[in-house]
Each structure stands twice: as C-alpha cells, then as structure tokens.
Structure 1
Amino acid sequence: MSIIFIFLFISIVHSDIPLDVPSFSIDLDHAPIDRWSDIIPNFAQPMNEFNIAIRAQIPQVFIDAAEIIVTRLEEHIPQPYHDELYSIARSISMPLADIVLINLVYELRTYCTSLLVRTSNNTIIHGRNLDFDLNTDLLRRLTFHVKFFRTSNPTFNYESIHFAGSIGLLTSSRSGYFSLSINQRSTDDKDWWMNALMSILHLHSLPLFIITRSIFDNSIMSYQDMKYILQNRHLIAPVYFIITDGRSSGMIITRNRLNSINPIELNSTLVQTNYDHWLDDPSNDPRRTAAENILQSFNSTQMTQDNIFDIVLSVIPVLNKLTVYTAIMNPGEKQDIFAKIRTLKPRQ
C-alpha cells in the first residue's frame, strides 16, 4: 500500500512524459567509413552543442590528451572502429579529437541504476535508468535506438540504446544470447579522468567503446566468453558491468582497472547504482535501496516489464532529473529493447 501511495504522490508533484526513442539500423557488412553517415547528420545540431558544452566544462589538459590520442589513433583504436570514428567526424565536419572526447565522456559519466529480475516464466528482465550529470537535456536529444545486423548472416543482430557520436555500447542486448549495461563506479581518485586518458596513451588499455563493440560484433561470442572478457580485460577506468544470458544466469561484475572484485550472481533480484554492493547505501544515493525495497514487495508473478517500468524505474529517486532514458531488455525472449526518453520535472 505504501508503494502505491508513493507512486501516486510523485505523479502529483512531478511531471514525466516518456517519449519514444527514434530508431535506426546499421549493416556491419558496410564499410566502416560509411556505417554512420546516414544516422549522425540527424543529430548534428545537438552534437555540436554538446561538444561546445564539454569543452567549456572539462579542463584543457583532458582535451589536449584526447588530441594526442588522435595523432596516434592507429596505435590505440583498432579497426574497424578507427574508421567508424572517422565516419562520424566526416559526416558532420567535426574534428576527430572531439569525437574521441565525446566517446570517452559518454562512457565515463554514466550515473545509472541497473537491475536484474528473475520472472515467473523463467526469463530474466534487465532494466536500467541511465542518468547523466552533464547537459542532460542535450543527451535526451542525442538518444536513439540502433539495430546492428549483417546482410551476410540473417541470424545475427543486436540492439543498443545509443548516444549520437558514440560507437560503443552502454545498454545493449543480443536476443537469445546476452544483455549488458554499464554503470560508472565512483572512485576516490581525484585525477581519474586524466588517469583514464593516460592508460590509453601509455598502458595501451582499451576504452570501453572498443571492448563492448568487439563483444557484440562477434557472432560466436557466448555469455561465458563475455563474462570472462569483462572480468579480466584491462580497462581505462573502474566500472560496473551488469550482464545476463536472459534465462539462467546474471551477475554484477565490479571492476578495477586491472581486475574484478567481489562479483555477485543473480538469485531473484539484483540492483546496482554507482557504489559497491557490499557497502551501505550512502545518504546521497538512495536509488538502490528504493529499487530494492520495491522489488522485495513483489511476488514472482509481479515481476513483469510493465511493473518494472511503472513501479520501479519510474519512482523517485530511481527516476530523477538526471535520468536520460529508461530501457528494459529481455534477451531470453525474442523481443526488441523497450526504451523511453524520460523528462522528469517538478510540476509548475
């Protein structure tokens, strides 16, 4: 009864009109230099606005480091992703260094809530709210759904809820195989941004946008293979990987740059925000506790997509003013990602 009261109260004092997410598709059999040329021009204005905003908010030393990466791009970004970055830059006449910087900003600023829920029909729902603390309104204009496929292999495809300019995956599902969401892991390292860039330049660690695409672009990649890569591949920054095969297994992988620590496997429900699951809920991040309390009030038949969207991911503080979109994946079923752009604001 208390959950219903909270939901009704929030709907009275706040306004959220979920918006449809525009959809596009990419044939991975096309040359990498051409893959994004029909999509990115649709987002030219908000991309340029976002780029200007980033350059105004990020210290110049970070921008300089991104420009150094571009001068040695062949050393740090393997093909075909090297050419995909060129494809995006060329399609809207933006400097390549800005595209690299945008990709890094996207994956290093994702303050999110991700959850895994085992349902009564033996599938696993994978939900997430993606929160972003820089230029949230612009990010809403840059959000789209993309389906990747290969003409040469009709059985192969996967989906992503994407930000224009990015070539990586933050929220992605391959039906019948696995799904993935990525949350930033908070760190006490005050120089984490620079350390992330330096790990590319000097340690040759791969950015997440390369790791995630290489996983999903591989037609023979299994859930166990993905799990191994995400637990062991050297990263440029600490993160949380939330993954499931959609049927039997799901887990949260907590990552340092070099290794995984304290992985936790799904029993009935798991919720991850931006702090380690073995720590108490900090007072400034009540999202996980709120989502866990609501899910614990459900019985197995209530673990449905509609309830996850309406009663978990649409309740404050799980839904908040920084939430860009909500996505719900179910890789155990043959269905597309369900996603909505969120617009939460106090009622006037």
Structure 2
Amino acid sequence: MDIPVVFTLSSLYILAILCCCSQGQSPPYEAECVEGKYPPPSSRRVKEYVVNLDLPGKERWKHVAAEKKQEIKNILASFKKYIYDFGGIAAEIWYLIDLLGPAIVDVLPQPFQDEIRGISDVTGIEIGEVTLYNIFYEIFTVCTSIVAQDSNGTLYHARNLDFGLFMGWDPKNRTWEITELLRPAIVNLDFQRGGKTVFKSVNYAGYVGILTAISPGKFTLTMNERFTLDGGYIGIINLILTGKGTWMGFLTRATMEKAESFKEARAMLTSTQMIAPAYFILAGNTSGQACVITRNREVNGTDTWWMKEAGGWYVLETNYDHWSKPLFVDDRRTPANKCMKKLTQKGVGIPGIFDVLSSRPVLNKLTTYTALMQVNQGHLETWLQYCPDPCFPW
C-alpha cells in the first residue's frame, strides 16, 4: 500500500519534534504568555444565526446549510481524499457509508435523523457523509477549556477548539488542511423556541451536536476529547451489537435543550452511557460552581473534579486526566496554568482569558476558534484563531 505524501511529511515533522524532546532539546516553539490580544480584528468575529426549534427537524438548518454549503462540501471532500489516499479497506468503508447512508441515519434518535436529512437535501451531499460529518468530531478533537472566577465571584468559561491532527499537513504553508477548511464553516447559533433563546452554541456548519454552548443565566458547557483504549470505535461496535450508547454530541445537545440548571445538566452528563469517553467542562451561575467531569463510555468510573479542588479560582482541562501527566509532546496544560497564574484572579475577564488562550502552545496550528462565555449575562462571543510561525503543529 502506498503511503500518502501528506501523511509521510506530517509524520516526519512530528518525528523531528519527538527526537528534539527525547534528546533534551526544546521543540521549535517558545511557550509564551501574551497580553493585549483582545479584541482581535473584527474580521475574525464569527457570525450568528438563529435555529428555530419550533420548525420541523428537516427545516431547521436550511438557511445555515444553504449559506455554508460549499464550506461543508470542501471539508468532506478533503476528508474523503484523505481516506481514499490510504486505499484498501479505508476506501471501502467510505463506499459503504455512501451506499448504506439512509440505513445509517435511520438508527439515529430524533430530531437528529430529520435534521441530518434536511442538511443533506439542501447541500446535495450524500446522507451517509453528512452522518459521518456529525460523528467524527468525537474521534479527532483536541482542546483547552478554562472556567475562571474573578474577584467578585463572577464565572467566565472559555475554550480553544483544535481539530485536524494528522489530516493533511501542507508543508508549503505549514498548516493542517482540515483545520484551514473548518474555519470558514464556524458559526454561532442561537437556538430559539417561541422567539426566545433556549441556548447558544458554537458549531461547524452542518454539525447538529454541541461542543461549546451556554444556557443564558443557567450554565455553560464545553466538551474535550478523552483519549483512552476504550475509545469511540469500540463504542460504535458496542452500539451496533447491543443498541446501548449515546453519541456525545447528541447527549450535549439534549442537555442544552432540557436541563434547567447546573445540577440537572451535571446529572445528565454523568448518568448516560456513551459511545466515546469525554471530558465535560461545566459551569453554573454562582461562585465556585464549576467542574470537569471525566467520563468513561460506561457510567461507572465517572470522576468530578471541582474548581475548589483545582486551586480555588479556576479549573483547566486539555485532553488528559487531571490526575495524570499530559503526553510530553502535547503539554498545553503546563503553559496554560503558567499563564493563568501570571494573569492572577484580579485579571480574570474576557480580555485576560482570551490572552491565555492566545498564548503558544495553547494556541497552535490546530486551533480553529476561541469562544468566550459569561453565564449571568448570557454572553457568547467567538473568534477565528490563527497561529503564525513559529508555532507548534498541535
């Protein structure tokens, strides 16, 4: 089997990083704590759309899908090329996704079945591919989430969403192909019933689940991927064999629609069997009400790490269990903690946290956006992020 050139080049670059670290040399970037990065240029602010939950599922996403049709097609075309470059069974799997798409979507819960059908109708993309688009975020994301409390007890919740590792390294521009294609597809969404906001979120257009969201006045939520051997592929097989398990994005969407409080949201996120493990970073509307929920696929083994246990005024999660050391080539946690401590509790606010999330290597080549939330004000703002060289590839 021929090895794709993009994979070979990205692998060589990563091997170079590993060699530097194993020989005690510094990787080709400098950890930093930047200041004065907020606000970014207005051109980087993400546009907001309304999703009307009173409409039938097939009608809800028409305007977003129509406006972002080409962006969604570009993402899937790149992902498809990446799969076909491997040939063999990988290409056959994609063929089966196209062939069995209608049957695959039939096993999803409502309203997600109809919403995905509606997106497929508007974009003209095969329904199996739209379904795949709605589940592969459970497998490939790396992120940094922070909940911090200012000196008055006000909570701020923010996150970087990084996506595209190993998916097409462009040696000329030194970027990840999927990461570059995802940025134009980022949208802010205001989910409404009866003309009133139920919750707000940040999504890649065409994705109906939730990775970043705020229920105004109630709680905020972000999801970070958790890498374990008991991962998403095993969960998918278990779902096929037993019918047990919930897609992470559908669980978070249901939580945002149904939970009326931090307590109810926490109960939903800790008591539902999942297809893939995850970290849920959850914050409420009162001082100290913030935690990281570390989830297995099964409900057993769930760990809740509270802000007061993390140091009192903030809690920070990347993609590693808080009781374990991060992978030495992907230690965003130590620089992020360093920058938070430099910021101090007095500096907590939208500008200060944005600076922390704009500091390399918390900001890296995979970072697509930074979202900033304040629950009491119902505030959500999202900015496209870029990391010019020198910058770590993940």
Normalising by structure 2, what TM-score?
0.78
Which residue, out of 9, 20, 24, partners 2:49? 24
Counterpart contact for 1:70–1:100, Cα < 8 Å: no
CA distance in 1, matches of 2:110, 2:35: 51
CA distance in 2, matches of 1:28, 1:321: 35
CA distance in 2, matches of 1:93, 1:25: 22
Aligned to 1:106: 137
How much has 1:276 moved relative to structure 2?
0.8
CA distance in 2, matches of 1:119, 1:159: 23
Aligned to 1:325: 369
How much has 1:144 moved relative to structure 2?
0.7
Which residue, out of 223, 233, 256, partners 1:194? 233
Counterpart contact for 1:70–1:96, Cα < 8 Å: yes
SS at match of 1:344: coil
SS at match of 1:52: helix
After superposition, the Cα gap between the structure-2 partners of 1:22 and 1:8, relative to the gap in structure 1 and judged at 3 Å, is closer
Matched, 1:245 2:284: yes
How much has 1:291 moved relative to structure 2?
0.9
Query: 1:69-108 counterparts in 2 under 5 A?
Result: 70-74=102-106, 76-108=107-139
Query: 1:248-287 counterparts in 2 under 5 A?
Result: 248=287, 249-259=289-299, 260-267=301-308, 268-287=313-332
Q: Deviations over 1:280-336 (max 9, x none)?
A: 2321122111111121233322111111102x10100000111000011111x2242
2:206 maps to amino acid:
G
Aligned to 2:271: 232
Deviates more, 1:290-299 or 1:96-105: 290-299
CA distance in 2, matches of 1:39, 1:282: 38
Deviates more, 1:76-85 or 1:161-170: 76-85
CA distance in 1, matches of 2:272, 2:68: 32
CA distance in 1, matches of 2:113, 2:137: 17
How much has 1:111 moved relative to structure 2?
0.3
CA distance in 1, matches of 2:328, 2:278: 21
Q: Deviations over 1:163-184 (max 9, x none)?
A: 0110001000011111110111
Deviates more, 1:297-306 or 1:235-244: 297-306
Aligned to 2:255: 215
After superposition, the Cα gap between the structure-2 partners of 1:265 and 1:193, relative to the gap in structure 1 and judged at 3 Å, is closer
Counterpart contact for 1:107–1:170, Cα < 8 Å: no
Larger radius of gyration: 2
SS at match of 2:266: helix
Aligned to 2:216: 175
How many residues align? The count is 332
How much has 1:28 moved relative to structure 2?
0.6
Counterpart contact for 1:244–1:250, Cα < 8 Å: yes
How much has 1:66 moved relative to structure 2?
8.2
After superposition, the Cα gap between the structure-2 partners of 1:28 and 1:199, relative to the gap in structure 1 and judged at 3 Å, is same
CA distance in 1, matches of 2:280, 2:209: 14
Aligned to 1:345: 388
Q: Deviations over 1:241-280 (max 9, x none)?
A: 0001132311101111102433201121111111111012
Q: Deviations over 1:55-91 (max 9, x none)?
A: 23342465436865741533x3222221111111111
Counterpart contact for 1:62–1:193, Cα < 8 Å: no
1:35 maps to amino acid:
R
- Identical-residue share of aligned pairs (%): 28
How much has 1:42 moved relative to structure 2?
1.3
How much has 1:6 moved relative to structure 2?
3.6
Aligned to 2:4: none
CA distance in 2, matches of 1:85, 1:341: 25
Query: 1:45-60 counterparts in 2 under 5 A?
Result: 45-58=70-83, 59-60=90-91
2:233 maps to amino acid:
M
Normalising by structure 1, what TM-score?
0.88
After superposition, the Cα gap between the structure-2 partners of 1:194 and 1:8, relative to the gap in structure 1 and judged at 3 Å, is closer
CA distance in 1, matches of 2:57, 2:292: 32
Please provide the CA RMSD for this pair.
2.5
After superposition, the Cα gap between the structure-2 partners of 1:297 and 1:345, relative to the gap in structure 1 and judged at 3 Å, is closer
CA distance in 2, matches of 1:170, 1:342: 17
CA distance in 1, matches of 2:225, 2:257: 23
Aligned to 1:130: 161
Which residue, out of 339, 347, 352, partners 1:294? 339
Aligned to 2:7: none
Structure 1 residues without counterparts, runs of 5 or longer: none
After superposition, the Cα gap between the structure-2 partners of 1:184 and 1:62, relative to the gap in structure 1 and judged at 3 Å, is farther
How much has 1:39 moved relative to structure 2?
0.9
